[in-house]
Structure 1
Amino acid sequence: MMGRFSQRSYEKEIMDDLEFEGPVLEQSLKELRTINKLLGGNKVTTTGLDFIMKKYPQENYLIADIGCGGGDMIRVMGDWAKKKNIKCEFIGIDANPNTIEFAKERLNDLDHVNFRAQNVFEDSFEKEQVDIITCTLFTHHFTDKELLRLLSSFISKARLGIIINDLHRHRLAYYSIKLLTRLFSKSPMVQNDGPLSVLRAFSKQDLQLLIKSSNIKTPQIKWFWAFRWQVIILTP
């Protein structure tokens, strides 16, 4: 990758504004749900769950979905667990209180989910233990320095493992999502943040360096179509 694709961009996305709210936010979250489903992003997380749960079988699991957005991945994981007859409880965590309210409304039919507006860099974040941490399209929002701190707190918080589902920074991914959002998106936020999120995302080397700097010894890094990375970190 050359030029603008050779290094991660740190340009802020519109979604990074924690005050963002209203119809534009709701439209954006709905479109992101559709994009994630159509491009196969959901299986990156569910196959990670399958891997960790087979390695560490137990009667039930407490899963924290960090940067939960509108709760789409919690719905996906809940449906997956139900089909597998696996008992799971979920905590949806997002720093934007407006997003949390939207997620509560969308998932109000589920009784095994709790939501909270919380900044992951607060000292209180890692005090509550969970079995598994998941995060989808979340880690690219942070600088490498912030990610090192974030990974450290994730490791302290998760008893069994961590599943990171995020984008591969690649020329084809960038121009594809730029075209898709221009043609089909009605949300200015999605049209801006979709391509920008690819520029803020990761090469395999980026991930390897972050893992090495975090002193994590047994990561699993796997590529999925369409341009997704799955990182599994076992924490016991």
Structure 2
Amino acid sequence: MKQRSTEPEIMDDLELSGSELEATLQTIERVNRFLGGSRNVTNVIDSLLPLNPNPTILDAGCGSGDILRELQSRFGQNNAPVQLVGLDANTHILDYARAHSEGITFLKANIFDHIIPHPQATIVLCSLFLHHFTDQQIVNLLRQWKSAGVHAILINDLQRGHLPLLLFRCIAFLFRFPPMARYDGSLSIRKGFRKNELRTLAKEAGYNAIEIRPVWAFRYRMILKNEQL
């Protein structure tokens, strides 16, 4: 796995709908709970909130909205004035997210339309999102957010390698993943990153304040801060 795979995932079909899509969204939610994917985000988000007194958090590629609901629960307990926005390009995924959420704004948009649908977003979340794109697309996207005045980007994504793939296959067997989740999950790891690759992409996009660390279940957590603000 010296290089990232460029093969598209089934989930990349923006017209995808139906029971298998819902089953895959539910599987991702279960895995996030089991492997702590949500905690990788919520445990560090508090450190980013002081960047703005009334932050808007935009979850790019929000999927089912499970991480936003986790944040909503956390901020609700602390009475924090935070606005939560989910962004996805698939209408059917957004319908699912809206049906399972209250008090969260969900917007349909393709991030490569070069239009930030919620321009006052101060923190952008990218959880298991960036691996869907090519290196150049990622650089362009990070630049776009920096130019739009986003204060910080919190990235949670997959490590590429044989051990992560082995762990995934074990989890897929134990949790009885549906076929689509098995296929996309395995491919996602082959589309994942090495630590130096993430740092290089961030630097190409113009970021100098870069923090990257490996976290549980063969993922990387990267925080990018906009030093121009």
SS at match of 2:224: strand
**In 1, are the aligned partners of 2:199 and 2:210 still within 8 Å (CA)?**
no
Instruction: Answer yes or no: is the 8 Å Cα contact 1:126–1:156 preserved in 2.
Output: no
**Alpha carbons 2:36, 2:216 under 8 Å: kept:** yes
Counterparts of 2:148 and 2:19, CA distance in 1:
34
Supply the AA of the counterpart residue of 1:20: L
Per-residue deviation, 1:126 = 6.3
User: For 2:130 and 2:61, how far apart are their aligned partners in 1?
Assistant: 9
Q: Which amino acid aligns with 1:34?
A: R
Match for 1:46 among 3, 23, 42? Answer: 42
- Quote the residue 2:2 is aligned against: 6
- Match among 73, 79, 92 for residue 98 of structure 1: 92
Task: Please state how far the C-alpha of 1:48 moved relative to its aligned partner.
Answer: 3.0
| Structure 1 counterpart of 2:12 | 16
* One-letter amino acid matched to 2:13: D
- Map of 1:87 onto structure 2: 81
| Per-residue Cα deviation, 1:107-147 (whole angstroms, up to 9, x for no partner) | 1xx22x11111000113226722111111100000000110
Corresponding residue to 1:36 among 32, 36, 43: 32
The alignment's TM-score, normalised by the length of structure 2, stands at 0.93
Name 2:68's counterpart in structure 1.
74
- Structure 2 distance, partners of 1:25, 1:204, is 30
Measured at CA, do residues 84 and 168 of structure 1 come closer, stay the same or move farther in structure 2, by a change above 3 Å? Answer: farther
- Distance in 1 separating the partners of 2:127 and 2:107: 17
Q: How does 1:175-214 map to 2 (within 5 A)?
A: 175-214=166-205
> Deviation at 1:205?
1.2
Question: Is the partner of 1:223 in helix, strand or coil?
Answer: strand
**Alignment coverage as a number of residue pairs:** 227
Give distance in 2, aligned partners of 1:32 and 1:216.
30
- Structure 2 unpaired stretches of 5+: none
Q: Which amino acid aligns with 2:100?
A: R
User: What per-residue deviation string (whole Å, max 9, x for no partner) do you get for residues 146-185 of structure 1?
Assistant: 1011111121335321111111112111111023213423
Q: Is the 8 A contact 2:52 2:122 kept in 1?
A: no
- The CA distance in 1 between the partners of 2:128 and 2:211, in whole Å, is 18
Identity percentage over the alignment? 34
1:154 aligned residue (130, 134, 145): 145
Decide which moves more: 198-207 or 168-177.
168-177
Give the alignment's TM-score, normalised by structure 1: 0.91
Counterpart CA distance in 2 for 1:158 and 1:84 is 26
Contact 1:119–1:125 at 8 Å: present in 2 too? no
Is the Cα contact below 8 Å between 1:162 and 1:232 reproduced in 2? yes
Amino acid at match of 1:185: R
Rounded Cα–Cα distance in structure 2 between residues aligned with 1:150 and 1:96: 18
> Within 5 Å, which residues of 2 pair with 1:112-191?
113-125=104-116, 128-191=119-182
CA 1:166 to 1:62, structure 2 compared with 1: closer, same or farther past 3 Å?
Answer: same
Pair 158,227 (structure 1): closer, same or farther in 2 beyond 3 Å: farther
- Structure 2 letter corresponding to 1:115: F
The one-letter code sitting in structure 2 at the alignment partner of 1:195 is S
Is the contact between residue 94 and residue 119 of structure 1 (CA under 8 Å) also seen in structure 2? yes
